[in-house]
Amino acid sequence: MGPLQGIRVLELAGLGPAPFGCMLLADLGAEVVRVERTGGGSRVSATDDAGRGESDPRRYIPHRGRRSIALDLKSPEGRDMLLRLVERADVLVEGYRPGVAERLGLGPDECLARNPRLVYARMTGWGQNGPLARSAGHDINYIALAGVLDNFRRTGERPLPPLNVVGDMGGGGMLLAFGIAAALVHVGSTGQGQVIDAAMVDGAALQLSTILGMRAQGRWPGEPGSNSSDTGAPYYEVYECADGRFLAVGAIEKPFWAEFVERLGLPADELPDRDDPAQWPEGKLRLAEVLRTRSRDDWVSVFDRSDACVSPVLSFDEAPLHPHAVARSAFIDVGGTIQPAPAPRFSETPAALPTAPPQRGADTEAVLREWGIAAELSHP
């Protein structure tokens, strides 16, 4: 049921990257309990992300695979209940601004005093220290300051923010889950817990390592949008087809480029020199002309099972239906919601099918009973 089976995680309810990181842990078998506030719902359980109308918490994918309890953490009783749970947990995850958990009496000092083996994981945008630590921010701000956003643009155009996957999810939630897994290994070998400071601005910058390495080697010399794999070159670009849909071309290596050109039906010497950056704009214009002559799916048939590194640009609805995704069961149906399957895949400890996200506070009594706290309260 996953390699993290037997690990207990307390997730202090929040938004975005921390819930995503906890979803990854739950997908791999950890018992994750989401601690919601009493009296009133969270944003995702009461309204949609734009604050409009009612939404169904059972369809909010990042909350899948765990149970939910409701506690008033501002009350002495709620604080005491959480600390009792901490004594029995392996991990606590909080995504508050720095200082908030301490003001609640639930900071690292209090929690590690109750459970020295605890992994206390903190997820923020700016980190626990620094001049911006207590400032508000979102994915767009973190990737801007990390030097990432400036590179999401074509030459001469303004940066275009991607979906919040680079800062929030990759630089935040995935980094958080990785840090927790590493800290659990440390607990297993030493018995010692610790505090994790996971910051989205750090994680976003970390993902630039390959590009910065190429830049240091002189292999990434140009401004954003003018390099070999940032839409500067004709062999790494998105092209529009006759039906207004798009193809992604990534024929970087010369053998792949040769197959790409051959399948296009062009003579090898008809295109401008792909190795001359001065000829890249002309090469892109010529390819754009050719690829606009047929529909996207016609071109997909032309390049099917080739090494030309050409793929259709699929929509949210199309991606789960692609034959490769179907063959790998890359998307699953959980409670009527199509969503990505747990990943990565393990040969000896495969992940189970996730359960649907819980209703807020639905499992309070069951969790307290199973964790031995209900019995403890009834027999002081």
Say whether both 87 and 133 belong to one domain. yes
Residue 201, in any domain of the structure: yes
Would you please indicate which residues are annotated as catalytic (active-site) residues? 138, 168
Say whether both 292 and 358 belong to one domain. no
pTM beyond 0.75: the answer is yes
Residue 83, in any domain of the structure: yes
Residue 101, in any domain of the structure: yes
Confidence of residue 52 (pLDDT cuts 50, 70, 90): very low
Say whether both 104 and 251 belong to one domain. no
Number of domains in the chain: 2
> Where does residue 40 fall: left (phi above 0), alpha (psi -120 to 50 degrees), or beta otherwise?
left
Cα–Cα distance for residue pair 33/2, rounded to 1 Å: 17
Say whether both 193 and 240 belong to one domain. no
Task: For the chain, give the mean pLDDT.
Answer: 94
Say whether both 312 and 349 belong to one domain. no
Domain end: 266, 301, 316, which one? 316
The pLDDT of residue 375 is: 64
User: Quick one: CA torsion of 21, 24, 25, 30, rounded to 10 degrees?
Assistant: 140
Say whether both 346 and 247 belong to one domain. no
Query: Maximum CA pair distance of the chain?
Result: 86
Q: Which residues contact 316 (CB under 8 A, 6 or more apart)?
A: none
Cα–Cα distance for residue pair 310/302, rounded to 1 Å: 10
Q: What would the pLDDT profile of 19-32 be if each residue is shown by its tens digit? A: 999 999 999 999 99
The CA–CA distances, whole Å, from 149 to 141, 208, 353, 376 equal: 9, 11, 35, 52
Say whether both 21 and 119 belong to one domain. yes
The pLDDT of residue 374 is: 77
Provide the domain limits for residue 145: 8-207+342-378
Say whether both 309 and 183 belong to one domain. no
Position with higher pLDDT, 168 vs 377: 168
Q: What would the pLDDT profile of 273-288 be if each residue is shown by its tens digit? A: 999 999 999 999 999 9
Q: Which residue is it, tokens 């359980």?
A: 45
Say whether both 24 and 124 belong to one domain. yes
Domain end: 299, 316, 333, which one? 316
Asked if residue 54 has pLDDT above 60, the reply is no
Residue 349, in any domain of the structure: yes
Confidence of residue 217 (pLDDT cuts 50, 70, 90): very high
Q: What would the pLDDT profile of 73-95 be if each residue is shown by its tens digit? A: 999 999 999 999 999 999 999 99
Contact 26, 354 (CB under 8 A): yes
Residue 229, in any domain of the structure: no
CATH code, domain with 294: 3.30.1540.10
Say whether both 372 and 310 belong to one domain. no
Say whether both 193 and 290 belong to one domain. no
Contact 362, 12 (CB under 8 A): no
Written as six digits, the tokens of 316 are 């949210």
Residue 222, in any domain of the structure: no
Confidence of residue 377 (pLDDT cuts 50, 70, 90): low
Q: What is the mean pLDDT of residues 345-366?
A: 96
Confidence of residue 55 (pLDDT cuts 50, 70, 90): confident
The pLDDT of residue 50 is: 42
CATH code, domain with 81: 3.40.50.10540
Say whether both 40 and 91 belong to one domain. yes
Residue 363, in any domain of the structure: yes
